[in-house]
Every structure is written in structure tokens, then in C-alpha cells.
A and B are shown apart, each in its own frame.
Chain A
Amino acid sequence: MRILLIDDDERLLELMRDYLLEEGFLVQLASDASHGVCEALTDNYALVVLDVMMPRLNGLDVLRQVRQRSTVPVLMLTARGDEVDRITGLELGADDYVAKPCTPRELVARIRAILRRTRPGSAADAGFGPVISGHLAMWPAQRRAEWQGAPVQLTSTEFSLLEVLLRYVGTPVSKNDLAMRALGRPHARHDRSIDVHISSIRKKLGTGADGRSLIQAVHQQGYQLLRE
């Protein structure tokens, strides 16, 4: 399982590499932006860990460039308490975030959570046909989605969220359930991650026949996918 670490603190990178090696990952390091972007676009990695608050290189820029051409899962490291960076990062398509400094255990847990749901064939129903509702069809095993017959490019977190909503189509799913199933962690109070991811999915899907968005917010409960 290869992981790419992008951070401008080289001493920290070496320590993280040692830690992740101990945990059984193969690790590549990148401490400058262009190298990071090139490596991330090579398809060699199961996951990219990206520090978005690097003083010397703009992590959000790296993320933007990677997302233009790739849906490789990206876990961002954000400054604790800096909500602006976090929201911007999620809007740009990061799959999840960890507030830095974090214990390496926390980081590994988050990495595993993302890998668990993105590893092809790891889904419980691997090999089964698509899950379909109206014009939306999803193949969880291949992590492929189609909307009105055209493929939709979703990040792995967006895919997982939409998959959960699709499996419960017509019923509201609480934010906590969504967080547990799609992000692999409980929903934290005042955390807007789910809202940001849902908003990106909405943008990618557009509106249904009646002009409404397919995903509706249910006040104080969560979100539901409308049955067409």
C-alpha cells in the first residue's frame, strides 16, 4: 500500500515515514509543490497525505492541481482551529482532514479509514451489479457512478456518501450515520465536512427533472436522496 506524503517540514516527513513504515505502509516523500503534484498524478499511490498549511508552498494549490486530473484519495492536514482552510480544502475535493499536530496513531487510523472504503473489491457486495435509483446508478466494487447515463467523477468520500444515501433512498440519513459510514469516524459537533461534501455532490449531479436537487437536507436530521 503506497502512500505519498507532501509536507515542507522535511524532518517531520522523515519521522512520519518511519512511523508509517512500522505500520506496514510504503511511503514516498515530497517536500515541494511541483514534485508533489507530479507524484500524486502518477497513479502509483493509494492515498496522498497533504499538509495544506505549509508556509512555503501552498497546499491548497497542490490540491487544486491534483484534483483537476485525478480522484486519488487525499487526506489533508490542517491547522487545528483553522476552519477556513479546512472548508476550502474539502470544497476543492479533499476526502477528509486531520488537525495537525495530531498523534501518528490518529493519522494512521484516518488513513486506514479512507483506504478501507477505497480499496477495490473491499466492499461487502463486491462483484454484484449496480445499485440503481431513477437515473442514478452506482457500482460500488469499481467505485463508478453514472447519472442520467453519463459517468460522474466523484472523490472517494463523495462516492461513499452518495452510496450510503442511495442504499437508504427515500429515507433521511443522519449526519452521524453518514460520517460513520462514509468517513469512518463519528460526526463532530459543528463539523461542516458532511455539508461541504454533499454540496460538491449536488454540484456534480445537477438537478432532477423537477429542478430540485436530488439530495435534500432534512432539518436537524441529515440528508436524504429523493426517490425519483
Chain B
Amino acid sequence: MGRLFWKFFIFSWLAQLAGIVAIASVFWLTEPRSDRASPVIDAGPLLALRGDGPPLPPAVGGVDGPAGSAPPGTESFRRGPPRTPPLGPIVATVLTSLGTALALAWYVAKPIRSLRLAFETAAAGNLEWRIAPLIGARQDELADLGRDFDRMAERLKASMGAQRRLLHDVSHEIRSPLARVQTAVGLIRLKYGRAEPVIDRLEEEIVRIDQLVGDLLKLSRFEAGELPGVEEEVDIRDLVRAVVEDANFEARLSQRGVQFERQIPAIVSGRPEMLHGAIENIVRNALKHAPQTPLVHVDSAVDANGSNYVLRVLDSGPGVPECELAGLFTPFFRAAGAARVDGHGLGLAIARRCIEAHRGSVTAHNRPEGGFVVTVTLPLLAATAAGRVAA
């Protein structure tokens, strides 16, 4: 049970106890004196009585009033030996009040708890969660709030679905004319000259549009939860090595390089193609945005509690202004300094989707010593995590 439950429970119980005690003392004090051979009273009710007991008559100063008037406490203590308290009724009342307080607290805290859970689930991207089944036939403001949440989630889901479908359909539709243009350009090349630089340029641009469309489709598929391939045990060290090898091969053309240091053996559960693509995007991004960096470093580690694989891609380029860091993983984002860098701003967004689909996370920071670092965290398979701790 949450904190709200306990707060509600304790306050309502205390309030009930206080009320019971107050009422009990009123009864006790208004009893006829003859019945009270041995009054038992502690300071509590008297103090309470003195504080807020309205029937306290003004004739207190030693004058024995008629039955029903309250004598000063000091006097009553002196009269006779103490009477045993009525234990049975006291326990019963306390238990009843405890029960009522628990029920009340639960009644209020439970729907709020389900609401919170629903909001959390929605914030994490799952809009399938509905509260109505948990509420049942309840009719009050909290129940209404729950139903409002359901309506909101429904609307959100519909509009996100529509957006995704639009993105998907548009991308798909662009591909048909693109295929025709590509074939037509091929035909031009065949008929009018194979070595025409303008034709090369045309083909390059077509490939670029095709990549953009492909990336858009990929992103919309990932967001819809359609993931390619099957989940299997992936030797992540081999996978990163392969990415680095490829990137290195290309980087060498511009006298640069990618270096994989601290190659820790690790197994994660994942879809190799997706993981490969994600890490490749991050490494390529580092090469692209830090053109003066002679060497991009990649290193790996296992985090402090041994359950996550941590991969870092470090460059010594200009980094990204702090205020723009948050937008780095959104589609089509371009940092202020990156206007002339080739690419369309989907690589990191796709990478993040991929890693998140593998229950991991991606973060980016400027390094204090200059340069930029992107950190990928992926949960290790239980077996390897345990193995590493043992080792």
C-alpha cells in the first residue's frame, strides 16, 4: 500500500479515536455521582474536556452542583479507589474504528493507485491500459476520473495510430514513383552515356531519398512495435567488433579510424539486426559529427551491479550545446552546428527506439575534457550477469 493509504488511514483512525475518547469522557462525566464509586480517569479526557467540553458549568469552585455538573478533576481523583476500566467495549470500539479507518483509506487510495499505475503505463508508451475494469460500477469523482483517463488514452491511441499509418502510407507510396524514376534513370544511362556525372548525381540522390523513406518506415514500424527478426542470444562483443570493423574501413578513406577498446565478452538477448543497426548508427553519427576527430573510441564495461552491458562511443569533436542535448534523439533533429553534415537526422532516433525495444537505454553527454559521448546500456542475460559476478 502506498503512502497515501497510510496517511489517510492514520489520520482517520486518530480522528475517530479522539472522537470516541471525547464522547466517552462526556458520558463518564455526566454520569450520576452515586454510580461512580470509584472513578477512573486519566488526564486525557479531562484535559480534552477542559479544552473543548462545552457543558462545563461556571460553578466549579468547590460547590457541589446537581447531578450532571462537572466537578474539577483534582477532586474526583481523591474520591475512593480506582474502578477497573470496561476493557471489552474499549477494545471493540478501537477495533471498529481501526476497521473503518482501514476501509476508508483503502476505498480512497485504491482508485488513485490504479490511476497512477495507468498514467505510468501510458507515460511508458503503452496506451492499451484501461481503468474501467478496475473501477467496476463505482460512481463518484474518482471513478469519473478513471473513465476520463480511459477516454483520453483511447483518443491518444487513435491519433497516434493515425499519424503512424499516415507516415507509413506516405513513405510506402513514395517508393512506387521512386522505383520508376530509378528505372528511368538507369535507362537514360544505358541509352545516352554511361559516364555522365549528372546521372551519377541523380542516382545518388535517388538512393538518398530511398534511404530516408526506408528509415521513416523503419521508425514507424518500431514505434508500432513491429520488430524485425527474432530475439536470440547475441554475442554483443562480436557484434560491436563487426560494426567497428565496417566503420573503420570507411573511416580509413578519410584518414581516420574507429578503435574498440576494453572488449568485454558479454551475451545479451536481442535481435541481432536491430542491435547492429542501432550501434552502427551511433558510431557513424560520431564519425559524421566530429570530422576533425582522427579517432572515434568505442569501449565496453559491465555496470557496478553486474546486470548491464555499457557501451560508450566517444569522440573529441565539438559536442552539442547543452540546451540541445534533449532533442538529440528526436526525428529530424539537427544540432545548431550540424547544418552541413550529410544525413537526415533519423539515425539516433532509430537507434534509441532499437535499444529501448531491447529494454536498454541511450544517453548522450558532452565530455568535461571536450568531445561527446553516447552511452548505450543493455541488460545482460541473467546467465552472463551471474557468470561475471562469479568471475
Contacts and interface: CB of A to CB of B under 8 A. Distances in A.
Contacts of B305: none
A16 interface: yes
Interface string A2-19: 000000010110011011
A228 interface: no
B177 to A, nearest CB: 9
Interface in B225-275: 228-229, 242, 272-273
Nearest to B179: A101
Interface in B156-175: 172, 175
Interface stretch (A33-41, A75-83, A148-156, A177-185): A75-83
Contact of A9 (B172, B180, B203, B272): B180
> By CB atoms of chain A within 10 A, which of B172, B186, B214, B272 has the most?
B186
Contact of A22 (B182, B190, B218): B190
Interface string B345-383: 000000000000000000000000000000000000000
Interface size class of A (residues with CB under 8 A): 20 to 34
Interface residues of B, number: 26
B276 A101 contact: no
Given A19-B190, A81-B217, A190-B276, A102 B180 contact: no
A19 B228 CA distance: 33
Given A9-B179, A81-B218, A101-B175, A19 B187 contact: yes
B223 interface: no
A81 to B, nearest CB: 6
B187 A83 contact: no
Interface string A178-207: 000000000001100000000000000000
A105 interface: yes
B126 interface: no
B176 interface: yes
A19 B229 contact: no
Given A22-B190, A101-B175, A190-B272, A12 B183 contact: yes
A19 B175 contact: no
A52 to B, nearest CB: 14
B23 interface: no
B175 A12 contact: no
Contacts of A167: none
A108 to B, nearest CB: 9
A129 interface: no
B229 A190 contact: yes
> By CB atoms of chain B within 10 A, which of A9, A15, A101, A104 has the most?
A101
A190 B270 CA distance: 13
A12 B180 contact: yes
Contacts of B176: 9, 12
A38 to B, nearest CB: 25
Given A9-B176, A12-B180, 18 more contacts: A9-B179, A15-B180, A15-B184, A19-B183, A23-B190, A81-B221, A101-B175, A101-B179, A101-B210, A103-B182, A103-B203, A104-B182, A104-B187, A105-B186, A189-B276, A190-B229, A190-B273, A190-B276
Interface of A: 9, 11-12, 15-16, 18-19, 22-23, 79-81, 83-84, 100-105, 189-190
Interface of B: 172, 175-176, 178-180, 182-184, 186-187, 190-191, 203, 206, 210, 214, 217-218, 221, 228-229, 242, 272-273, 276
CB-based closest 6 A-B pairs = A104-B186, A101-B179, A15-B183, A190-B273, A83-B228, A22-B190
12 contacts: A19-B187, A23-B190, A81-B214, A81-B217, A100-B175, A101-B175, A101-B182, A103-B182, A189-B242, A189-B276, A190-B229, A190-B276
